[in-house]
């Protein structure tokens, strides 16, 4: 089941003469964690902004299948079900952790009787209990990140967007946030988050969207589980049509993506038919880093 | 939601020493300084002016004139250099005083030690003393005054005849005598109330800069709803500020500046007026807040407009000594209407003026809030998270 269906999404900022999002069509699976990777300026944050409804005049369509009220603006349709964790700290630094949560909670349509339980739950989940009465401006970077996430949780969202939630914090706080994201997955929330930390994306995400120059490529989990075969010949082979070439690099090295051990065996057998000498051959699991590098190499 | 918004805005303002300074300390300081500065005006200032009456003769009338001037409050000197005001009488003054004086025959030399604002009052008093002197001469001439009586007795007789206070009933509140307090306290209360523009603008800019404003877009609250919640919160804070400034103005300022006390003549009207003033101050503040995008702009535009409006509203220079064109401009300023409402509430003798200016302020607030809401919604709509 899809949480969000995106079709031919394009957007150009008024001050730019290029598309920050260009013809993006993909589906976000419900109750899955989708990582969004790509270099700075590739369109990741714009993509999340568009999905949250913060960009009003985009081309194409964004559909939340379970949302009614098509006549209204996207942001009005999705306000109740999506939450955003911006990269910057978006809270009131002069207020304490608890005061911040109280204030944002007061903006939601949640009955007062539920507040106490919800707040206790959020504080426990985000491991903020020990600093709940501290002013936000006095918190460490890690706690600030957690407060940033905690505020997004007061809406009890079905879909959570996080923009680089682990940037600029120590490994301990990062581990807490990773645990938090994993717990959201277990709770059945749909997560989308951008990150430059490919290892954490690999660890948490089911699907990966790689952005480059406003264009997106979706890689589902099974693609990450493919096998990557690397073969190096002594000279350029004449005919490799039988191989699904994933990438050709210098010195006659070829990378081939295979989706099963059986396919690997078949490919190895065919490779023995190639006239040229194979200097080196090895295989490994495909990785997010490789997907990322491959996408960035494509022009 | 409103209670939590009020709590949030209050906590933010209380944690910001600069906002408290702008809202409370600045106006109180102005009230004290300006009341104290103005306390030396009028009668007290006259008592510091030295007058020399210059005449080629040493006649009874010269002595009498000096005494009449002294009764008006001037200090009489016999040295030209020490005098702030030199009155040069013509030759044969004694003979000319009743019928022989020609136009401009008495010369007044006013030194720069008498300020321009004081000069009209000084000239009035010199004229008053001279009128008594001419009556003195006339009564001697027709024999109604005993020529043989000592000069002091003659002067007392003249004073008795010219004392007209008993014929007048002055329909004014006693506190109108407290001119310095009555001028300063309303003006600087209003100045402080309208300075809400800075905390409002800075709060909005902070929310814009720290991302909370754009985050709020994703919360289930409309921009208009958020706008009016914020307006309500700041109006309540301004109301508290109004009450605090009023109490300081009534009880502390007169004591600290050794000036006569002032009281509110009609508390219900005063509080209603305060509410309308608070609303109009916030209406103006939210227009500015919706327009500015940086702290620098907030300080220049917010603070600058407030100071400019105060300057043309008779706060810094009293309206009665302004050129007519400036006084006309001032009469269209919401700060002027607000200060006049407060002043009239203290004096308590001009309810129709209060209602007229309250109506003006309500219209101003309605137009300003409509404009501010539109600008605020546009500002939020343009915000992008990137």
ipTM above 0.90, yes or no: no
Percent of chain A at pLDDT above 70? 87
The answer, yes or no, to whether residue B175 has pLDDT greater than 60, is: no
pLDDT digits (tens, 9 = 90+) for B114-141: 877 678 888 989 999 999 999 999 999 8
User: Cα–Cα distance between A126 and A200 in angstroms, integer?
Assistant: 18
Please give the average per-residue pLDDT across B370-376, as a whole number. Answer: 94
Evaluate if pTM is beyond 0.80.
Answer: no
The answer, yes or no, to whether residue A296 has pLDDT greater than 80, is: no
In chain A, residues 55-84 whose CB comes closer than 8 Å to chain B: 55-56, 75, 79-80, 82-84
Give, in order, the Cα–Cα distances in Å from A265 to each of A258, A284, B204: 10, 14, 65
Please give the average per-residue pLDDT across B73-80, as a whole number. Answer: 86
Q: Which pLDDT does position A128 carry in this prediction?
A: 93
Q: Which pLDDT does position B316 carry in this prediction?
A: 73
pLDDT digits (tens, 9 = 90+) for B202-245: 889 988 888 888 888 888 888 888 898 889 989 998 999 999 99
Q: Higher confidence at residue B362 or residue A277?
A: B362
Are B385 and A86 an interchain contact pair (Cβ–Cβ within 8 Å)?
yes
pLDDT digits (tens, 9 = 90+) for B143-160: 888 888 888 899 999 988
Chain B partners of A93 at a C-beta cutoff of 8 Å? 210
pLDDT digits (tens, 9 = 90+) for A25-81: 999 999 999 999 888 888 888 999 888 888 878 888 888 887 654 556 677 777 778
pLDDT digits (tens, 9 = 90+) for B183-200: 788 888 898 899 899 989
User: Cα–Cα distance between A39 and A200 in angstroms, integer?
Assistant: 16
User: Cα–Cα distance between A207 and A200 in angstroms, integer?
Assistant: 13
Element (H, E) at B63: helix B60-71
Whether the Cβ atoms of residue A84 and residue A161 lie closer than 8 Å to each other: yes
Of A49, A75, A106, the CB nearest to B386: A49
Please give the average per-residue pLDDT across B276-290, as a whole number. Answer: 94
Calculate ∠ Cα A102-A107-A109, nearest 5°. Answer: 110
Q: Higher confidence at residue B119 or residue A190?
A: A190
Percent of chain B at pLDDT above 90? 27
Sign (positive or negative) of CA dihedral A221, A225, A226, A228? positive
Closest approach of B16 to chain A, Cα-based (Å):
8
Q: Which pLDDT does position B117 carry in this prediction?
A: 67
Lowest mean pLDDT among A39-43, A153-157, A221-225, A236-240: A221-225
Are A106 and B1 an interchain contact pair (Cβ–Cβ within 8 Å)?
yes
Are B210 and A49 an interchain contact pair (Cβ–Cβ within 8 Å)?
no
Q: Which pLDDT does position B348 carry in this prediction?
A: 72
Chain B partners of A95 at a C-beta cutoff of 8 Å? 8, 11-12
The answer, yes or no, to whether residue A298 has pLDDT greater than 60, is: no
Q: Which pLDDT does position B6 carry in this prediction?
A: 80
Of A82, A92, A102, the CB nearest to B12: A92
Whether the Cβ atoms of residue B242 and residue B277 lie closer than 8 Å to each other: yes
Chain A partners of B8 at a C-beta cutoff of 8 Å? 92, 95, 99, 103
Of A55, A56, A95, the CB nearest to B8: A95
The reply to whether B382 touches chain A by the CB within 8 Å rule is: no
Counting Cα atoms < 13 Å in the Cβ hemisphere of A45 gives 15
In angstroms, how far apart are the furthest CA atoms of chain A?
Answer: 76
Are A84 and B218 an interchain contact pair (Cβ–Cβ within 8 Å)?
yes
Counting Cα atoms < 13 Å in the Cβ hemisphere of B271 gives 6
Q: Which pLDDT does position A259 carry in this prediction?
A: 72
- Kindly give the pairing relationship between strand A159-163 and strand A82-85: parallel
User: Where residue A91 falls among pLDDT bands split at 50, 70, 90?
Assistant: very high
Calculate ∠ Cα A51-A56-A57, nearest 5°. Answer: 110
Q: Which pLDDT does position B260 carry in this prediction?
A: 76
The answer, yes or no, to whether residue A188 has pLDDT greater than 80, is: yes
Give, in order, the Cα–Cα distances in Å from A184 to each of A87, A141, A159, A205, B264: 19, 21, 10, 12, 61
Which chain B residue lies closest to A155 (C-alpha atoms)? B219
Q: What is the mean pLDDT of chain B?
A: 85
Q: Who's near B7: CB < 8 A, 6+ residues apart?
A: A99, A102, A103
Q: Which pLDDT does position A206 carry in this prediction?
A: 87
Q: Higher confidence at residue A268 or residue B277?
A: B277
Q: Which pLDDT does position A101 carry in this prediction?
A: 94
Of B11, B218, B386, the CB nearest to A79: B218
Are B217 and A88 an interchain contact pair (Cβ–Cβ within 8 Å)?
no
Calculate ∠ Cα B323-B324-B330, nearest 5°. Answer: 95
Lowest mean pLDDT among A291-295, B121-125, B224-228, B250-254: A291-295
The reply to whether B111 touches chain A by the CB within 8 Å rule is: no
Calculate ∠ Cα A27-A32-A34, nearest 5°. Answer: 65
pLDDT digits (tens, 9 = 90+) for A196-233: 888 888 888 888 898 888 888 777 665 556 677 788 88
Chain A partners of B214 at a C-beta cutoff of 8 Å? 54, 86, 90
Whether the Cβ atoms of residue B192 and residue B25 lie closer than 8 Å to each other: no
Chain A partners of B218 at a C-beta cutoff of 8 Å? 52-54, 75, 79, 82-84
Are B211 and A46 an interchain contact pair (Cβ–Cβ within 8 Å)?
no
Substitution target in A40, A93, A106 with the highest count of B β-carbons within 10 Å is A106
Percent of chain A at pLDDT above 90? 26
Q: Which pLDDT does position A251 carry in this prediction?
A: 77
Closest approach of A27 to chain B, Cα-based (Å):
22
């Amino acid at each position: 089941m899809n949480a969000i269906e995106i079709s031919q999404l394009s957007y150009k900022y008024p001050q730019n003469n290029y598309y920050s999002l260009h013809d993006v069509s993909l589906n976000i699976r419900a109750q899955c964690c989708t990582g969004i990777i790509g270099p700075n300026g590739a369109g990741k944050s714009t993509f999340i902004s568009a999905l949250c409804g913060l960009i009003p005049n985009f081309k194409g369509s964004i559909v939340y299948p379970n949302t009614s009220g098509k006549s209204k603006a996207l942001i009005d349709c999705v306000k109740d079900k999506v939450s955003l964790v911006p990269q910057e700290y978006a809270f009131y630094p002069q207020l304490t952790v608890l005061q911040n949560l109280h204030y944002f909670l007061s903006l939601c349509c949640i009955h007062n009787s539920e507040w106490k339980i919800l707040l206790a739950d959020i504080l426990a989940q985000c491991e903020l209990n020990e600093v709940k009465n501290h002013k936000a401006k006095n918190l460490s970077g890690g706690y600030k990140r957690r407060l940033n996430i905690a505020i997004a949780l007061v809406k009890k969202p079905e879909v959570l967007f996080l923009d680089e939630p682990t940037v600029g914090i120590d490994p301990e706080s990062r581990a807490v946030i990773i645990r938090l994201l994993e717990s959201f997955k277990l709770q059945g929330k749909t997560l989308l988050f951008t990150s430059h930390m490919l290892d954490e994306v690999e660890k948490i995400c089911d699907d990966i969207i790689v952005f480059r120059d406003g264009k997106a490529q979706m890689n589902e989990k099974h693609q990450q589980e493919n096998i990557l075969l690397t073969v190096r010949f002594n000279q350029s082979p004449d005919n490799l049509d039988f191989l699904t070439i994933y990438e050709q690099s210098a010195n006659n090295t070829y990378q081939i993506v295979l989706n099963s051990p059986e396919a690997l065996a078949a490919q190895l057998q065919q490779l023995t038919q190639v006239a040229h000498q194979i200097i080196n051959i090895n295989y490994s699991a495909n990785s997010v880093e490789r997907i990322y590098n491959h996408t960035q190499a494509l022009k | 939601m409103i209670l939590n918004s009020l709590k949030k805005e209050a906590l933010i303002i209380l944690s910001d020493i600069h906002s408290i300074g702008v809202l409370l300390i600045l106006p109180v300081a102005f009230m004290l300084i300006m009341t104290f500065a103005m306390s030396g005006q009028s009668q007290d200032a006259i008592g510091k002016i030295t007058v020399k009456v210059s005449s080629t003769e040493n006649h009874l009338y010269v002595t009498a004139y000096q005494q009449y001037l002294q009764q008006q409050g001037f200090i009489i000197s016999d040295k030209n250099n020490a005098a702030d005001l030199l009155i040069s009488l013509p030759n044969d003054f004694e003979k000319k005083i009743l019928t022989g004086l020609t136009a401009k025959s008495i010369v007044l030399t006013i030194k720069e030690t008498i300020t321009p604002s004081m000069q009209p009052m000084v000239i009035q008093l010199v004229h008053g003393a001279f009128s008594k002197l001419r009556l003195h001469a006339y009564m001697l001439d027709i024999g109604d005054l005993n020529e043989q009586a000592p000069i002091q007795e003659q002067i007392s007789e003249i004073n008795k005849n010219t004392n007209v206070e008993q014929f007048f009933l002055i329909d004014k509140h006693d506190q109108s005598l407290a001119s310095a307090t009555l001028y300063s306290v309303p003006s600087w209360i209003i100045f402080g109330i309208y300075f809400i523009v800075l905390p409002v603008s800075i709060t909005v800019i902070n929310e814009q800069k720290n991302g909370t404003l754009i985050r709020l877009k994703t919360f289930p609250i409309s921009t208009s709803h958020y706008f009016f919640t914020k307006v309500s919160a700041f109006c309540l804070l301004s109301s508290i500020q109004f009450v605090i400034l009023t109490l300081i103005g009534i009880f502390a300022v007169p004591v600290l500046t050794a000036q006569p006390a002032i009281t509110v003549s009609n508390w219900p009207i005063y509080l209603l007026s305060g509410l309308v003033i608070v609303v109009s101050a916030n209406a103006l503040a939210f227009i500015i807040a919706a327009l500015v995008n940086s702290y620098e702009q907030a300080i220049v535009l917010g603070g600058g407009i407030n100071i400019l409006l105060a300057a043309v509203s008779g706060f810094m220079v009293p309206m009665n000594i302004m050129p007519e064109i400036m006084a006309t401009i001032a009469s269209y300023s919401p700060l002027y209407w607000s200060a006049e409402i407060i002043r009239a509430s203290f004096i308590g003798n001009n309810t129709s003026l209060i209602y007229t200016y309250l109506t003006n302020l309500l219209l101003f607030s309605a137009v300003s809030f409509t404009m501010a809401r539109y600008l605020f919604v546009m500002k939020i709509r343009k915000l992008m998270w990137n």
